Amino acid sequence: MAEISFPLPDLGEGLIEATVLEWLVEPGQQVERNQAIVELETSKSALELPSPQAGKVVRIHGAPGETINVGEPLIVFEVPDDTAGIVGTVPKDEAPKRRVRLSAVLDED
């Protein structure tokens, strides 16, 4: 297992900090990529931050009401060694689905 720390990203327009309104995930929870993980408030707006990756939440930083600077740790994920660092998502092996059926008269000449 490898730990990956995700710092508070630059939320745009020169904002240097954000205040935690509510955590939408908790340590121990498995999250998917793009799942909303935290609600933040900046001096411009309130927003939900999507998860940058899939993984198990190990730690979260900042209780509701606390302010975090851009670049400081926000959340730490735990991921299997063979997926750590991957860009994208490990595809799932799913049972093949079909809608098209074949029909043919095969002359065996």
Site for another protein in 34-73 (CB under 8 A): none
- Stretch of 14-22, 37-45, 60-68, 79-87 lying at the interface with another protein (CB under 8 A): 79-87
Q: How many angstroms separate the Cα of 41 from the Cα of each of 9, 20, 44, 56, 95?
A: 13, 6, 8, 24, 43
Of 94, 87, 17, 21, give the one whose Cα is nearest residue 54.
87
Rounded CA gap, 71 and 10, in Å? 8
- Provide, rounded to whole angstroms, the least separation between the CB of residue 56 and another protein: 12
Asked if 96 is part of the footprint of another protein (rule: CB under 8 A), the reply reads yes
Q: Is 90 in the site for another protein (CB under 8 A)?
A: yes
Q: Which of residues 2-41 bind another protein (CB under 8 A)?
A: 33
84 binds another protein (CB under 8 A): yes
Task: Yes or no: say if 73 and 61 are a contact pair by the CB < 8 Å rule.
Answer: yes
**CB-based contact 45:108 (threshold 8 Å):** no
CB closer to another protein, 13 vs 97: 97
- Tell me the window of 20-28, 39-47, 68-76, 86-94 that interacts with another protein (CB under 8 A): 86-94
